[in-house]
Amino acid sequence: MTRSILFVTGTRADFGKLEPLAAAARDAGFAVSFFVTGMHLLDRYGLTRVEVQRMPGVTVHEFLNQRPGDPQDMILAKTVVGFSDFVTEHRPDLIVVHGDRVEALACALVAATNYIRSAHVEGGEVSGTIDEIFRHCNTKLASHHFVSSEAAARRVMALGEPEARVHVIGSPELDFHSRPSGVTIDEVKRRYAIPFSDYGICVFHPVTSEASSMGAQAAALYGTLSASGRNFVLIAPNNDPGSEAIFSVIASLPQDRFRVIPSMRFAHFSELMKNAACMVGNSSAGVREAPFLGIPSLDVGTRQTNRAKADSIFAVAATDDAAIRRFLAEEWGKNYPRHTAFGSGTAAGHFVTVLQDDGFWAGGLQKEFNDIA
C-alpha cells in the first residue's frame, strides 16, 4: 500500500522548507500532495502558488482562505472550514505542517479533531511574537515532531510530547542552500532586474503584537539604510497585520538603490543570498540561512528574539540608527565560518528514514502528557 502524505503550505517561506522533505518523500515512493493556501494565492505577493505547481510528481490542491485585510482569526476560521471539507474527501495518511503561521494552526487543528496522523516541522523554536504561541499550539496538536536542533527537541518534550515522537533532523531549507542553486548570480540579476554589483538583502515583516508601530519602525530602519548609500534588494513583507504601513514606507524609497521584489523563486533567492554582502531585517532567513552561508546578518526588532545565536548575527532595535550604521560599516561583505547548529543540509534524508520505519505509523493517536521529570 502506498501511503499518502499531504504537505500544507501558506507562504513562499514555508514552501522553501517543505519542498526538500516533499521531494525526498516522493522519491522514496510516497504519494505526495500539497494543500496550497494563504499568501501563495494573493497577487500582491507574486502568486507564488506557481512555485508549488512547478514541482514534478506531486498533486496540488488550492484553497483561497483570505482577502487582503482579513484579520488572522477570520483567516483561521476560513482555513479550518476549507481544510476540513478537503480532508473529508481526501483523507491522507499523514498531514505535514510547518512552523507558526495561522494556516498551519488551522490545519493542525483539523488533523487532530479528525484523528489524522500529523507531523509538525520546526516546532520547539522561540521568538518574540504571537508566532511562538501558534508554534507551541501546533506542537500540542501534532502527533509527530521534526525539529531543527537538540534545544528545540527539549522544548517540545517540555510541552509533554514523548521523546520517541521527536526527531532532530535540522532545518530543511539548509538542504537547498548546501548544494548549488542551479542558477548563476548573473541569471538572477537579469531575471529580477537587479542592477547592483554590491548589495545587501533586506526583509522586514510586521510583528502582529506591534502592528500600530510598524510604520514608524520601517521608516526608521529604511531611513538609516537609505542614508548609508548602500544598495539593497528588498523583499516585500508578508501579509500579517501591520504590513500596509510597511508597504507605505517602501513606496517612498529611492528606486535607484532599493530594488523591491514581491517574491523570488527559491533557487534564485538562494543564489542571491550566497552573493550578498549582508542581510538586514527580521526574517528567519537572517538567523537561520544567513549564518549557515556565513553571511553577516542584522536582526531588527523583536520578531526573532532568542531564535538563534551565532557570531555573524547582530541584534538591534529598528530605531537604533547608530548601531545599524555601525553594522553596515563594519560587517558589510565579511565572511564567517559556516554555522551548523541547525543542521548540515541533510534534513530530508533524516525525514524519510523516520517515515520508512513501520513504528512511525504504528503508534496510536490518543495523546498523553509525558512529564519530563
pLDDT tens, position by position, 87-96 = 999 999 999 9
Mean predicted lDDT score pLDDT of the chain: 95
Average pLDDT in the 118-123 region?
Answer: 98
Share of the chain above pLDDT 90, in %: 88
Q: Across residues 167-191, what is the average pLDDT?
A: 96
pLDDT computed for residue 272 by the predictor:
98
Q: How far apart are CA 205 and CA 217, in angstroms?
A: 11
- CATH fold, domain 4-177+344-362, is Rossmann fold (3.40.50)
Report pTM: 0.90
Mean pLDDT across the stretch 151-171?
A: 96
C-alpha cell at 23: 521531494
**Residue 6 CA neighbour count, 13 Å, CB half:** 24
Strand order across the 279-281 sheet: 258-261, 232-235, 200-203, 279-281, 297-300, 313-316
CATH 3.40.50.2000 fits 185-331, yes or no: yes
Higher pLDDT among residues 76 and 307, named by residue: 76
Q: What residue ranges do the domains of the chain occupy?
A: 4-177+344-362, 185-331
pLDDT at 373: 62
Assess whether pLDDT exceeds 90 at residue 330.
Answer: yes
**Cell 496550497 found at:** 36
| Domain pair 4-177+344-362 / 185-331, same fold | yes
Q: In whole angstroms, what is the distance from residue 189 CA to residue 202 CA?
A: 16
pLDDT number for residue 23? 97
Distance separating alpha carbons of residues 222 and 249, to the nearest angstrom: 8
Lowest mean pLDDT among 76-80, 113-117, 129-133, 308-312: 129-133
- What one-letter code names the amino acid at 37? T
Q: How does pLDDT run across 20-67, given as a tens digit for each residue?
A: 999 999 999 999 999 999 999 998 888 899 999 999 999 999 999 999
